[in-house]
Amino acid sequence: MKRVYNFSPGPAAIAPEVIQQAADEMTNWRGCGLSVMEMSHRGREFTEILKTTKDDLRSLMSIPDNYKILLMQGGAIAENAIVPMNLIGHKSQPATIDFVNTGHWSVKSIEEAHKYAKVNIAASSEDSGFHHVPARDTWKLTPDAAYVHICTNETIGGVEFDFTPDVGNVPLVADMSSNILSREMDVSKYAVIYAGAQKNIGPAGLTIVIVRDDMLGHALPICPSAFDWKLVDEHDSMFNTPPTYPIYIAGLTFQWMKRQGGVAAMEKVNIAKAKLIYDYLNSTDFYINKVPAANRSRMNVPFFLKDETLNSKFIAEAEQNDLVQLKGHSSVGGMRASIYNAMPLEGVQALVAFMKDFEKKYG
């Protein structure tokens, strides 16, 4: 099977072992004569897949017992509405939500929240081009806010939190779409964690929501039933038909991660991968990355050629070297290497070797 090194930001690379296992099992899951795609979500086989998937995620992230795991749909963008609809119903309206604005995905969350609540921008790095995470002691939080929202990794800007903020008794909500399971996180510091699966877990179509149980039951009356976390939890993520195939692939990824040694082992490799590429970026001015060291994302590495007229040559020659999907997001241009868990160290070594060659050739 021909495989290339896939640097896509999402839908992103899935571990080759997982793809192969899915291929082997696709037409006949473990001898039951059915593909997972055509099983009833309430049948014995899928019930087992669902349970194992949730149990494995709980153990990988050390999710405490008082947290629910909800397997939903709509992606992080739907959660931008689902989160406020679920968390402000018990407050006098309009409730206030505090946001820390660190880039593209924070902006999206903020825009959507305006429909439901009063928004307070507690801190923002917009003035400096969204290159860093504002230090905690600069945040201007609202004492009775319904919650504080952060995006722990800005996938487009390549800016990642290097700390877990203490926000007192106000619930902390995090969009972890692009760095969930990439590093050890203390789940108990968060009230809600959500993430689309297509960056670091599996195929698009599945959204993971991890929610502390005291956050349930606060939904606004307008919240659609299928998005009301309390109902979703009461129906074990089967209030509506869940995305069964993406859940199955996510489960295979969780088993693969466990075989690798879990999140701690993934984090070690992720640190090594990020160091390799940032060390090289530090050593040259042929390529540019403006994020200060402390906030450089381990998952998404945007970089720019000093001479931007070489961009299309870079992309084309990278592809000839089996290094694909390196084009930067249209809003910022340049290049971006997304190096999620499924990207092996060898892939980053191949990329850095190519970048060095390219510099020699055109620098």
Ligand X SMILES: *Cc1c(COP(=O)(O)O)cnc(C)c1O
Binding residues for ligand X, rule: CB under 6 A, are: 10, 75-77, 105, 151, 155, 175, 177-178, 196, 199
Closer by beta carbon to ligand X, 155 or else 253: 155
Report d(CA 26, CA 205) in Å as an integer: 18
Known active-site residue 105: yes
Of 207, 209, 183, 201, the C-alpha closest to 251 is 201
- Under DSSP, the state recorded for 327 is B
Report d(CA 102, CA 285) in Å as an integer: 25
> Shortest approach of ligand X to residue 63 CB, angstroms?
20
Of 11, 48, 15, 79, the C-alpha closest to 244 is 48
Per annotation, catalytic residue among 56, 175, 228, 233: 175
> Shortest approach of ligand X to residue 106 CB, angstroms?
9
Known active-site residue 175: yes
Of 190, 105, 188, 87, the C-alpha closest to 145 is 87
> Shortest approach of ligand X to residue 246 CB, angstroms?
11
CA-CA-CA-CA dihedral for 128, 131, 135, 138, to nearest 10: 20
| β 335-338/300-305 pair status | antiparallel
Per annotation, catalytic residue among 105, 228, 229, 230: 105
> Shortest approach of ligand X to residue 104 CB, angstroms?
8
CA 304 to the chain's CA centroid: 23
The closest residue (CB) to ligand X is 75
**Can you read off the two tokens belonging to residue 146?**
């319904």
Report d(CA 152, CA 187) in Å as an integer: 13
Per annotation, catalytic residue among 54, 68, 98, 199: 199
- In the three-class reduction of DSSP (H, G, I as helix; E, B as strand; rest coil), residue 289 is classed as coil
Closer by beta carbon to ligand X, 199 or else 273: 199
Residues 6+ apart with CB under 8 A from 344: 269
> Shortest approach of ligand X to residue 105 CB, angstroms?
4
Report d(CA 350, CA 342) in Å as an integer: 15
Closer by beta carbon to ligand X, 88 or else 193: 193
**Can you read off the two tokens belonging to residue 50?**
């669902």
Closer by beta carbon to ligand X, 175 or else 233: 175
Closer by beta carbon to ligand X, 53 or else 182: 182
CA-CA-CA-CA dihedral for 313, 316, 318, 322, to nearest 10: -170
> Shortest approach of ligand X to residue 258 CB, angstroms?
24
DSSP state string for 98-112: EEEE-SHHHHHHHHH
Residues 6+ apart with CB under 8 A from 264: 184
Closer by beta carbon to ligand X, 132 or else 199: 199
> Shortest approach of ligand X to residue 50 CB, angstroms?
21
The set of catalytic residues is 105, 175, 199
